[in-house]
Amino acid sequence: MKILVDADSCPVPARELILRAAIRTKTIAVFAANRLIPGIRGPWGRMLTCPPGEGAADDRLVELAGPGDLAVTRDISLAFRLLEADTEVLDDRGRIFTRDTIREYLSLRNFTLGLVENGYTFERSSGYGKRELKIFAGSFDGLLTKLRRQVP
């Protein structure tokens, strides 16, 4: 079992929580990005700096993903690909993606992108604070516990 993290967009508090969980559970946490992300170190945290280019880090995470792994990403398209690899997926705000819900999220994302392309603007979500971290921690710990119980 591995924890896979789309590190480019993952907030610092969530990355720190993931690293602490990796150490506590002795589970490898792989952080992938197109640039070096500071603070990822130690025997349980691995930083993969991927080549520049659209989707290189996403492609690497999908290559590494498999059944029994846990992935953290805000990218809906990447979440879909990871679910296809039988990986459990959630975002940094604790939203758990499943095969039953991912198509709805993709449809909503595509609709929103279409509106933006036609000149509509949306208010961005608020920052990442204690509330968001607490919700993420609950979902992340729940999935991690579930997956660790499945490991023989």
Query: pLDDT tens digits for 25-80?
Result: 999 999 999 999 999 988 999 999 999 888 899 999 999 999 999 999 999 999 99
Specify the CATH architecture of the domain 2-150: 3-Layer(aba) Sandwich (3.40)
pLDDT recorded at residue 152: 66
Residue 130, token pair as written in the block: 């204690």
pLDDT recorded at residue 98: 94
* pTM (whole model) above 0.85: yes
State the Cα–Cα distance between residues 132 and 152, nearest whole angstrom. Answer: 32
Query: pLDDT tens digits for 104-141?
Result: 777 776 677 777 778 877 776 668 999 999 999 999 99
User: What is the 8-class DSSP label of residue 39?
Assistant: T
pLDDT recorded at residue 108: 72
pLDDT at 11 over 80: yes
pLDDT recorded at residue 124: 67
Segments making up each domain of the chain, as ranges = 2-150
